[in-house]
Structure 1
């Protein structure tokens, strides 16, 4: 099948040719005819499968040209990075049309965004929060809205956007509106949203939900502690020929900053590594992503803010420095590599405390991640006492989560100490009551007046 078979207009076909697309991907092949036919569509497809173009091409075909002042299409996405990615895709696919579009998101002042909307738009791409902010100012007209898209719906649920989405659904017209929902996974919360949002939808699922990319080779290293993780990431990044373009994912911005400082100081030239997380300014994040996309940066250290929907080709490796605790994010992280029929490698570091999360991930992806022995030349550090205690506490918390009656090693130690102290107190009281209180104790010599026998004798 070719894109010609969809009966798209010549402007879109020329843009597709410019982008170098030869044949439609499975999600495009199935979804494009359904969207063009006016159906509500529920699309389940992992990242890197071409789902953005799967809904944009039929939408652009229906919009065709600039018309009126109010938006006719609203696309909602969970992060500013994904909003920008979708807007860029519209720019590329609609390059031979006069269709007007704008991306709105937080982190920047709304003034310029509002001015663009006032001038007239056909397609609006937005994060839920920024959409509601500008809508409540009375600056977004919704009466002409004909198509609503929710992209990365599972991530929206994870990020707590459900109340905002419900408010948006309340304020936009529902009559004669086509609704499209796309998600990489289909957990119960997304299923619940699909029932509220879609009417008699056509479901398109191009791969079993929460499956990992077939083009990605997965490796798992069992690590004793944080310092050994640092040693291994340094060892891997020295191999420039193998690790040509790498994303290192961390659980927190503090860890991301620490890895960045270590690698920039000792391993990777400072101009070849960037770090992005929620504390970085919007322009810094955009510039870092573009530098990585263009190949000017070898290593990008990131929190999960960059895990979803960022389409960067030729990423050779993804390294999970920390195991994600939102298990579906594992799929999205490793989906940054192995894109567009290119092979890639995903490497995960796992401590004893993170094994619990790995087992949950393996259950979701329906496979065991292959373990690999640590390299012989790796320097394995001794685990500091504090880190060891923290891991043991975390393991106890995990066991208690599975079994509410489990008290844990720390709880048992505490119980033993309390019981021992209570036993000692009881024995002392028994000795005092029987007149056999031991010498040189705080219980000896206390008479009814509160005076000491020893002091009385001296007097």
Structure 2
């Protein structure tokens, strides 16, 4: 059993950097992954977020690369989002501080000029999102001929975001002889597929069950009838500034995130809260994350763009204002707290329209999320008519997804109305027929026809 980082036979420069970072004991994923990576094996690592998996592949990579060489990169790490890419590169700089290894992070959202300049200076490790790497490779700014390592981090998110085509193109341009490392919190069918193309006889390293939240995170679920009650509950929880001292509030859309941010900003002041989502500029997002890390900001409101790769110590709470529709994101959201042996709490607000996704999340994580009652002093608002209609439509859509034959409450009402109208029409027609028959039965054999029937008369 590995008890300390000394047991891995890492060099003194790396051990000094680890000591400076304040790490004393390897996490389970580090205990299981570092030795086989040092031995040159391909690795498939299954571990939930917040378990220290970045160090699990970065430390042995630095040990094997040793020092700066040539101008071309020898290691490529692919990440699904710019936030995660930036976080990985920060860790590389932290662990390689006593070496001369050079690293660069590449991502979209800003001009490539500064990134190209860094590549021109020479680099040993590239951390990149797939799209920006391909762009710069195709423009001739990156050579892959010396690559020894190819790492794919958060492979499940990479597949969810539609990067499978880019990954296959990258696999076509990197050397066949290389060491491959794939890390993921969950194993979807697409991840299995890419793993088959990517890894050669891998060593599978698994920490806990797939998609299991960290045991250091206490979970709770509040059934909440509507949006206004969610806001009231959020406001109630945030009154406890001692316990809720650093938290992330996750929302499923940019609009909701902006609205919650504005509400909290009015309540707590400009310096207490920030918001990040895809519409925010890169510099704004970086500044907000740094302010949150440094403790200058108490509350960070975010969409799932920040659910992965946001490594902040001592996040006391994660509040899911909305239940994520991509259910795997639940694990990644709540993994922002309770990181690396520390405790944290994850609180989820669930409207009737979101119960469907909670059931799926509980099936994924193979556990029930404990229910909590709304505190007595939280005002429960009446659900407005439009929101009731939206909830009913959402529930119908969910039922239809499970059963294509299901027509839905709205359809049933419409269908019932149509049946009633048809019955009334048939009744009127039947009544008219009887009336017509009655008159026909009373007709005399000799009739007079005239008017529109012509001038002929029969007697």
Q: State TM-score, norm by structure 1.
A: 0.93
Choose which of 97, 101, 106 in structure 1 pairs with 2:108.
106
Establish whether residue 405 from structure 1 lines up as the match of residue 409 from structure 2.
no
Q: Distance in 2 between matches of 1:265 and 1:436?
A: 74
Choose which of 42, 45, 68 in structure 1 pairs with 2:44.
42
| CA displacement at 1:320 relative to structure 2 | 0.5
Contact 2:27–2:340 (Cα < 8 Å) also in 1: no
Matches within 5 A, 1:33-432: 33-174=35-176, 176-266=177-267, 268-429=268-429
Structure 1 alignment gaps of length 5 or more: 438-447, 450-459
Contact 2:224–2:352 (Cα < 8 Å) also in 1: yes
Matches within 5 A, 1:14-25: 14-25=16-27
| CA displacement at 1:430 relative to structure 2 | 5.2
Larger Rg: 2
Q: Distance in 1 between matches of 2:361 and 2:52?
A: 24
Aligned to 1:11: 13
Query: Any idea what SS the aligned residue of 1:374 has?
Result: coil
Aligned to 1:445: none
Q: Distance in 1 between matches of 2:323 and 2:270?
A: 26
Query: Any idea what SS the aligned residue of 2:70 has?
Result: coil
Deviations 1:172-216 (A, max 9, x none): 221x21100001112222122111110000000011111111111
Deviations 1:2-38 (A, max 9, x none): 2122111111111111111112111111111111111
Q: Distance in 1 between matches of 2:421 and 2:122?
A: 76
| CA displacement at 1:369 relative to structure 2 | 0.7
Aligned to 1:457: none
Q: Distance in 2 between matches of 1:436 and 1:335?
A: 78
| CA displacement at 1:426 relative to structure 2 | 4.0
Query: Any idea what SS the aligned residue of 1:418 has?
Result: helix
| CA displacement at 1:72 relative to structure 2 | 0.5
Contact 2:220–2:347 (Cα < 8 Å) also in 1: yes
Contact 2:247–2:316 (Cα < 8 Å) also in 1: yes
Query: Any idea what SS the aligned residue of 1:400 has?
Result: helix
Query: Any idea what SS the aligned residue of 1:157 has?
Result: helix
How many aligned positions are there?
Answer: 437
Q: Distance in 2 between matches of 1:79 and 1:89?
A: 16
Q: Distance in 1 between matches of 2:85 and 2:251?
A: 22
Aligned to 2:455: none
| CA displacement at 1:419 relative to structure 2 | 2.3
Q: State TM-score, norm by structure 2.
A: 0.93
Query: Any idea what SS the aligned residue of 2:220 has?
Result: strand
Q: Distance in 2 between matches of 1:82 and 1:127?
A: 9
| CA displacement at 1:416 relative to structure 2 | 1.4
Contact 2:43–2:181 (Cα < 8 Å) also in 1: yes
Q: Distance in 1 between matches of 2:215 and 2:387?
A: 36
Query: Any idea what SS the aligned residue of 2:33 has?
Result: helix
Q: Distance in 2 between matches of 1:144 and 1:225?
A: 56
Structure 2 alignment gaps of length 5 or more: 438-450, 453-459
| CA displacement at 1:435 relative to structure 2 | 6.6
